[in-house]
Structure 1
């Protein structure tokens, strides 16, 4: 009997290649791998060619998918290579880490066991230390946080642990497992595992004992290098258990120098346990990168993949591929560039005493030669090659909830392939395929699966939509959670809408489990809450109507409209009604464009607008600056929405709205910002002629009003755009006269307000206003002088010509 404990670095290409060779040499009859034992039944799927890494084992608690954890695997992960070897050789595979049922039994925030050395990279990446005031406990906590790779690198004279690991292991082409075991034993000397780490290693030993008891003669254990001293016999640090050793060692058997089984059983007794389910899910190289927040121990997965896949001349092949990426972006890169870049990378490696040029050297060569010192193309290489664009794939035989399976079918039917990198998608809603794609993406957003993010359309017309698509591994968690609402995407989205209309919450944040598994990130399950405290706001309901129409959920729409009618009847706050109206108008319009029936919307819109018009007088009374600015946004939004409504009928919506604005425009208690904006709207719509608007402005800027109010009036008046001041010299002259007549003290007070107002204009508008103001200041022309200097006879000829062009000549 022999037990070989092979310590690896998770996601290390050198470890993966050496492990595969070592397993082929040892020819074990069982392989034990660090990971959740509940996944033993899923190993057989590794034989399916459709299971393509990067993939991850996903563990979750049924009914509570917010409690979940991932175990990622890339093609260069030693564990994945161990699985591939075992299934290819017909050798049983067992996972030997602490079961996910224990790790997920208690939410991470409620557990002191948040991690342990080796969680992420098998190299001593310790989790939080136990709390306490005992100095000995604090010292032990500091010991837990030891980074063994960092310790070994410092002992070798390196200041960069990653560089040392590449030089000592990755670039060697083989991994000296016995040397690594001895090095880890030295680093762990005097280390006392904490409760959680001790239980993990106790369960690993229990799994090894069971394999030996089951009659396996050659046992291979693949685990993070940190755990090797806890699994290998101290008298046999290589973990051979008697294989090829002295006869006495072979007779003694494995584990004689390790803690007894009784002690391990005592550690594992009484652990909390939850029912869990596991499956394979696609993963991405972006999620393997430490900068993405997942901390899987790989900062450059694309580079590691290259090292694993191209052991022969990796530097030359990498730089050739980098040249191809740059050429695809129309950047000039020649073969001579590649040759010089290879020479530079190799020269840097020699100067730095490295056996092979690493990522640092090839990146410097790319920057200096291929990119000629420009960092922007280097970022392109970083994104496409260093991190990588790969998205894994799982076969149809993988266990899935019905909602996941239906989405896969819809993705195939609609030809929407999930991709890791952002992809722009423009849809023409007049085409049936694009319309169905839009509906799918909107339905998924209602379920909290933000695969597509809507962007501002680059085309004209309401029949166009633009999206940015990017698939994220955590979407599988969202789909599992949304599976409680239905078995298909439309039915689940409709059920979710009905729940939101009743005031349901949008989802729960997720908490992950400790261990090597990567915790699932906390996100909102359905794109935000529709309400709080069991209620739902009017604006939320109107937005839900719009989303319901976009997603084509006619079965759910009546529930939302009923809730909206009830809520609108009880809401007496006019600002709430004004906030709700624009979304309702857009929903009515979308219903027309998409061919979706929107029965009942017109009556609700009409009722909302009527209540807004009636209550507008009270809403504009007694406002401070912040409230006035907020109401200004509502006034603009309602005005834009009313312009989309049908103007037919005896009392068109636009006429009612403008009538309400006229009724309040002459009040003396209006805030300057609101009064100025209303006057501008009435002027633009023809409800107020230029002379009366000039009179209103002159009155607002008289000396009887404080300068701050006059400045607010100007801000409200010109907030619709500055071109009016360019084309109407009289209005500009009024503002100029008021501004030049201010005292120095008053001018200092209103200057910031005016600067904010005019600073919002486009640069050409500001320039044109400045030119007109300069001519006013020099006295070259004024509005009155210009009127007096007009030659009526010469002007009449021009007027006749313009009328003829317009077809209005008498």
Structure 2
């Protein structure tokens, strides 16, 4: 090993997304005034550094394989990231910047689409093959000759800490801010980088040789490439060179092996074509809770520490008080003062050099929220995350599909935001229809920017849609993936729909037709309808036909609302309904209980579809149901449901219905079939029994006439039926039954008052009415 001459080389070991590290990097760069800055990151991004002055963090470098965009890697940067501070310094002072990590062309060549390459957390080694992670590991000294999964844990233990995150915050992130224009002398005196380099060298030396696992090999290759870039940089400039990299890599850049050894490590690496760009990022995706291996627990707190000019604890608690007052909570200045004092006391009791987020959170809960844990938790989560979304400039490299979407977002006044928001659209207005079409087109492309509220798109007779909008950084990658379908959102969605129609089954085709109408894709609906007509002519499965009709009927119904032509779908829908009518009676014969339950749901869906189609289609469907309603081989659930639909449609009057129910509840009919008939008849609403006392009487007499065994068999089915009713419906049915009993109808079913007396007395006792005693003659 040969040690590099550090006279003009300054290796700044940092932790990714660390405000203390970022602040120290800014001070050190001002002191050193380097001629060239090297930053740990993909060299493919060298051409993008000129855009740094036009970006608003958080942003992320995105490298992807153009022919297979799902193979991608992200390098997120926040305002408090040391790498971002270095980039901003170079942009302000006109200093050359190069990225020095292993090219993404190599790293992405070895990853499949299900395993995107993600950089590990700087300052910690890449996880080994035995499961070592790049998150906080358990404290403990490394075993000689084994990898150190978490060097911070080793250093924290040496310092007497049981939490490596807290040690790093106390030692580095919580360092007092140094003014940017501080003298070189004071900057040098306060620089933490020599100590960090020494500490990491000790940890690496104690860990011994790295194992030959794949992860260790990747790390060795990364460091070999960094050294190669560093050697070239030192030859290309005569002035100082600064390197901003993960603290773990500092010893590897200061102690150089022979060039031949690095060349051997890098020889023969796989390579692929890679494109790179900037994309907006969010604090939510910087948080470790999102699954990001290099994430931090509280990006909002770190952003505050980095941007607060002075007194960060006081400013944080003052902001917490302001937010609580906005929620109508009585928080005064005295509360904030006492909370600040409590943070200082807690920090002293816990042996911390300064109050951190834990102390601030405890003080906010105890003083500002007066012990209300739920309120404090919501406040802490909102502030500690500090959700914000970055922005990129119009000069940032983008594919045509991204540019088209950005233009439409500006035109429709729908800016992407990291916070979830509600959007209500009136489809009678041009702007509402265009916004709806854009959101539906993006969903066809797999870009789920908007999520439709349940029922808002499919509800019958409405001109409104309700959406929840939330832009996530990974949607940019999905846009890039969707770029293969076209250069505009409309063209790409239409091409995707035409491609999907080739392989979709019948229900899938009808759902696709519905999506095309919602998305106003006139160029694709013809292809989908042709495929739908051909598939409908071939498909003989009644279940498939019944599942396919409802979305198709909705498409016919809502073509007018969105001013789209759905006439082509009307004939296909009528054709499907005719085939369902012809095969319904045979399809329901002899079904089991489980299959009957699914068929009832399908019948309800087809009935809704027939109502949407209207006219002759609706009348013909009701005629088909009349045949099923009296079919002896049909399950009880299906017969009961058919009779209920006929009654609600005016095809079956009360007298005829009571007669059919009486036959279904006759003594010769098994109790289970009768219970299923009633279940199918009453599914969804039991108010019919309240308003039609004749039907209630039939059910009442049937129940009273059951023997013990039959009653036991039917009871669970009836409990399931009546249990699905609303409380008000059950109460109304009970009141109606009690009214019948009071009028003497109860005598018809043979109620024995003497035998009922013990049960009545027990119920009265439970209700606290025992003191009143039984009524005379009871």
TM-score normalised according to structure 1 size: 0.84
After superposing the two structures, state which structure 1 stretch, 316-325 or 694-703, moved more.
694-703
Q: Which residue of 2 aligns with 1:192?
A: 209
Root-mean-square deviation (CA, aligned residues, Å) is 2.3
Written as runs of structure 1 = structure 2, the 5 A alignment for 1:33-112 is: 33-48=39-54, 51-108=55-112
Structure 1 residue 322: deviation in Å? 1.6
Bigger relative contact order (CA 8 A; separation at least 6): 1
Residue pair 2:121, 2:246 contacting (<8 A) in 1 also = no
Aligned-residue offset at 1:337: 2.5
Once structures 1 and 2 are overlaid, which stretch shifts more, 670-679 or 361-370? 361-370
How far apart in 2 are the matches of 1:729 and 1:126?
A: 73
**Displacement after TM superposition at 1:460 (Å):** 9.5
Give per-residue Cα distances to partners, 1:501-527, cap 9 Å, x unaligned: 112xxxxxxxxxxxxxxxxxxxxxxxx
Could you tell me which runs of 5 or more consecutive residues in structure 2 were left unpaired when the two chains were aligned: 1-6, 133-141, 177-189, 211-215, 750-778
Other-structure match for 1:638: 606
Looking at structure 1, the residues matched to 470 and 112 of structure 2 have their Cα atoms a distance apart, in angstroms, of 28
Closer/same/farther in 2, CA of residues 287 and 780 from structure 1, 3 Å limit: farther
| Whole-angstrom distance in 2 between the partners of 1:355 and 1:125 | 31
1:548 is aligned to 2:516: yes
Equivalent residue, structure 1, for 2:30: 24
The more displaced of 151-160 and 77-86 is 151-160
Corresponding residue of 1:676: 640
Give, in whole Å, the separation in 1 of the partners of 2:128 and 2:326: 43
SS state of the match for residue 188, structure 1? Answer: helix
**Residues 766 and 141 of structure 1: CA distance in aligned 2, closer, same or farther (over 3 Å):** farther
Residue aligning to 1:240: none
1:661-707 Cα shifts (integer Å, max 9, x gaps): 00121111111111111111111112112122222222222333333
Q: How many residues align?
A: 713
1:537 is aligned, of 488, 505, 523, to 505
Match of 1:219 in 2: 241
**2:120 touches 2:293 (CA, 8 Å); kept in 1?**
no
How far off is 1:326 after superposition?
2.6
Aligned twin of 1:761? 725
Contact 1:125 1:147 in 2 (8 A): no
Helix, strand or coil for the counterpart of 1:667? coil
Equivalent pair of 1:758/1:766 in contact (CA under 8 Å) = yes
Q: Is the 8 A contact 1:15 1:175 kept in 2?
A: no
Give the C-alpha shift of residue 153 in structure 1. 1.6
Q: 2:533 aligns with which of 540, 565, 580?
A: 565
Partner of 2:387: 389
Q: Alignment partner for residue 207 of structure 1, among 205, 211, 229?
A: 229
Contact 1:303–1:386 under 8 Å retained in 2: yes
Q: Does structure 1 conserve the Cα–Cα contact (< 8 Å) formed by 2:626 and 2:646?
A: yes
Cα gap change, 1:686/1:784 in structure 2, threshold over 3 Å: closer, same or farther? Answer: farther
Q: Distance in 1 between the 2:385 and 2:165 partners?
A: 16
Task: Judge conservation of contact 1:346–1:357 (CA < 8 Å) in 2.
Answer: yes
Inter-partner Cα distance in structure 2 for 1:583 and 1:127 = 51
Q: Deviations over 1:257-285 (max 9, x none)?
A: x2111101100000000010000000000
- For 2:18, the equivalent position in structure 1 comes to 12
Aligned-pair CA distance for 1:386: 0.9
Contact 1:289 1:299 in 2 (8 A): yes
Q: Does the Cα contact within 8 Å between 2:70 and 2:113 map onto a contact in 1?
A: no
Whether 1:698 and 2:662 are equivalent positions in the alignment is yes
Residue 176 (structure 1) aligns with: 192
Contact 1:288–1:295 under 8 Å retained in 2:
no
Q: Distance in 2 between matches of 1:340 and 1:775?
A: 66
Structure 1: state its 5+ residue gaps: 132-138, 234-257, 504-535, 786-810
Give the 3 Å change call, closer, same or farther, for CA 433–110 of structure 1 in structure 2.
Answer: closer
Post-superposition offset of 1:141: 12
Q: Kindly indicate whether the alpha-carbon contact (under 8 Å) linking 2:28 and 2:191 is maintained by their aligned counterparts in 1.
A: no
Asked if 1 retains the 8 angstrom alpha-carbon contact of 2:122 and 2:248, the reply is no
Mean alpha-carbon deviation: is it higher for 449-458 or for 710-719? 449-458
Partner of 1:232: 254
Q: Judge which range, 700-709 or 578-587, deviates more.
A: 700-709
Superposition deviation, residue 755 in structure 1: 2.3
Q: CA deviation at 1:574?
A: 1.4
Asked if 2 retains the 8 angstrom alpha-carbon contact of 1:6 and 1:225, the reply is yes
Taking structure 1 as reference, are residues 108 and 489 closer, same or farther at Cα in structure 2, changes over 3 Å only?
closer
Following the alignment from structure 2 to structure 1, what is the Cα–Cα distance between the partners of residues 594 and 145? 52
Match among 532, 554, 561 for residue 586 of structure 1: 554
Offset, 1:40? 0.6
What are the residue-to-residue correspondences of 1:313-392 with 2, within 5 Å? 313-392=311-390
When residues 154 and 753 of structure 1 are mapped into structure 2, their CA distance, relative to the original with a 3 A threshold, is farther
Q: How does 1:224-263 map to 2 (within 5 A)?
A: 224-233=246-255, 258-263=256-261
Q: Is the 8 A contact 1:126 1:147 kept in 2?
A: no
| More displaced stretch, 468-477 vs 454-463 | 454-463
User: SS at 1:7's partner residue?
Assistant: strand
Q: Look up the match of 1:468.
A: 468
Q: Which of 660, 664, 687 lines up with 2:624 in the alignment? A: 660
Distance 2:410 2:21 in 1: 37
Structure-2 change in CA distance of 1:734 and 1:168 (3 Å): same
1:66–1:477 contact (8 Å) kept in structure 2: yes
Residues 594-629 of structure 1, C-alpha deviations (whole Å, 9 max, x = no match): 111123111111111111111111111121122111
SS of match in other structure, 2:711: helix
- The aligned counterpart of 1:287 is 285
Give the deviation of 1:776 after TM superposition. 4.5
CA distance in 2, matches of 1:740, 1:340: 72
Distance 1:457 1:620, change over 3 A: closer
Aligned to 1:689: 653
Contact 1:114 1:127 in 2 (8 A): no
Give yes or no for contact 1:427–1:434 (8 Å, CA) kept in 2: yes
CA distance in 2, matches of 1:759, 1:143: 63
* Secondary structure of the structure 1 residue equivalent to 2:522: coil
Choose the corresponding residue for 1:616, options 560, 584, 588: 584
Report the Cα distance in structure 1 between the residues aligned to 2:706 and 2:166, rounded to whole angstroms: 69
1:381 CA displacement: 2.1
Which residue pairs with 2:149 in the alignment?
146
Q: What CA distance in whole angstroms lies between the structure 2 residues aligned with 1:678 and 1:646? A: 18
State the match for 2:404 in structure 1: 406
Question: Secondary structure of the equivalent of 1:71?
Answer: strand
CA 1:432 to 1:151, structure 2 compared with 1: closer, same or farther past 3 Å? same
CA contact (8 A) 1:289 1:295 kept: no
CA pair 400-666 structure 1, distance change in 2 beyond 3 A: same
Separation in structure 2 between the aligned mates of residue 142 and residue 425 of structure 1, nearest angstrom: 58
Distance in 2 between the 1:678 and 1:568 partners? 25
Give the CA deviation at 1:130.
8.7
Give secondary structure in 2 for the equivalent of 1:594: coil
Deviation at 1:217, TM superposition (A): 3.0
Seen in structure 2, the aligned counterparts of structure 1 residues 141 and 703 have a Cα distance that, compared at 3 Å, is: farther
Deviation by residue 1:170-205 (Cα, 9 ceiling, x = unmatched): 112266111111111222223434211111111111
Moved more, 569-578 or 395-404: 569-578
Q: What displacement does 1:343 show?
A: 2.2
TM-superposed deviation, 1:336 = 2.7
Q: Is the 8 A contact 1:114 1:128 kept in 2?
A: no
Task: Compute the displacement of 1:387 (Å).
Answer: 0.8
| Cα distance in 2 between the residues matched to 1:401 and 1:81 | 28
Work out whether residues 418 and 472 of structure 2, in 8 Å CA contact, stay in contact via their aligned partners in 1.
Answer: yes
Distance across 1 between alignment mates of 2:365 and 2:145: 40
